[in-house]
Amino acid sequence: MSLQLPDKWIWDSWYVQDGGVTHAFYLHASKALGDPDRRHRHPIVGHAVSRDLTTWTVVEDALIVSEPGAFDDATTWTGSVVRGDDGLWWMFFTGTSRAEDTMVQRVGAATSPDLMTWSKVSSAPLVEADPRWYELLDRSLWHDQAWRDPWVFRFPGEATWHMLITARANHGDARVRGVLGHATSENLVDWAVQPPLSEPGQGFGQLEVFQFEIVDGVPVLLFCCGWAELSPERQAAGEAGGVYSVVVDERLAEVDFSRAQLFERTDLYASRLVRAADGGWALLGFVNIVDGEFVGALSDPVLVTADPVLGLVPRVAAGAGAEVEAQASDAGESDARESDARESDARDRDDVDNDSDLSVSAAR
């Protein structure tokens, strides 16, 4: 594992690259809490930097909770980072309050000139769930008000910013109301909540930690979901929950999560797509449950590509070095690489799962 802190648990993370350095922002909490489930109410947004995605230097924490009375005086949770047109960096994050016992989630922001020192924009949230489309807090339906994990991006060549949000629709079977929440902005400050980009009833109670990327020519939406929040049908099919992807329209039109595929590394959760040194893509996430125990450490990068039907699948980079070659051989991949790629593609996807600890020199 590339980042493991002896006295802290690490979970959700998000990344940005600048000048050849990858910045990882991640949630962490002290192991002195005893029970790892308690971490969710005691998070700090940590910060580490790397030039190869495997060796990390921990630097000063980025964010902590605000003073009493702010929308985020209880927790600061998962987000994303973008750079504005004026060069200022923006971190969008999830906040909850003590007054609401962390049950209502909202989105706020902080800014930085250098990715190192962050200042929160406001004690009030910038984006909240709109009851015209989204479920508000109702403990008889769900355990919280889902409105978190903001992923902010722009379509190429366009000025409008889009925010993808973990959310639930205000109608349908309560077990599968998870939808792709959506908001837009022209200036990163003023946000207009839009209708969801998917419909409820597509197999998930909630869909966490979205990311949209074009992976090797295939538009892919990445997210995660735990076993308990899967539909009864997915549970009955034996899915363990974890990291999912779904192939989508390049404009995110009519997203259909019923076609989402579970990534085969089910020990990972809240993974992100980052650029590897060979120009391809890698997944970085936290190692979740192994042998019944929560690990809470940042994984080594897992090389991936995208299939037009299956979404994200593992890959082995050509010429990635002797270490990768040796590990691929151990996983039974050498013969597959020597055969025709088209005929061996399906077998590659089954075999690469054995190669679960690739260590490569990479940078986003």
Whether 230 and 253 have beta carbons less than 8 Å apart is answered as: no
For residue range 198-211, list pLDDT tens digits in order.
999 999 999 999 99
Rounded CA gap, 238 and 252, in Å? 29
pTM, two decimals, is: 0.87
Look at residue 91 and tell me whether its pLDDT is greater than 80. yes
- Pick the more confident residue, 206 or 1: 206
For the purposes of burial, counting CB atoms within 10 Å of the CB of 312, is it exposed (0-12), middle (13-18) or buried (19 or more)? buried
Rounded CA gap, 172 and 200, in Å? 7
pLDDT at 52: 94
**DSSP letters spanning 329-353:** HHTT-HHHHHS-HHHHHHHHHHHGG
- What is the chain's length? 364
For residue range 113-147, list pLDDT tens digits in order.
999 999 999 999 999 999 999 999 999 999 999 99
For residue 38, give the nearest of 63, 76, 9, 61 by alpha carbon. Answer: 9
Lowest mean pLDDT across 209-218, 239-248, 346-355: 346-355
Residue 132 sits at the vertex; the CA angle it makes with 130 and 134, to the nearest 5 degrees, is 60
Alpha-carbon distances of 152 from 31, 181, 190, 210, 360, rounded to whole Å: 31, 12, 13, 10, 28
Phi, psi of 228 (to 5 degrees): -65, -20
Rounded CA gap, 358 and 317, in Å? 10
Look at residue 323 and tell me whether its pLDDT is greater than 60. no
Mean pLDDT of the chain: 89
Look at residue 320 and tell me whether its pLDDT is greater than 70. no
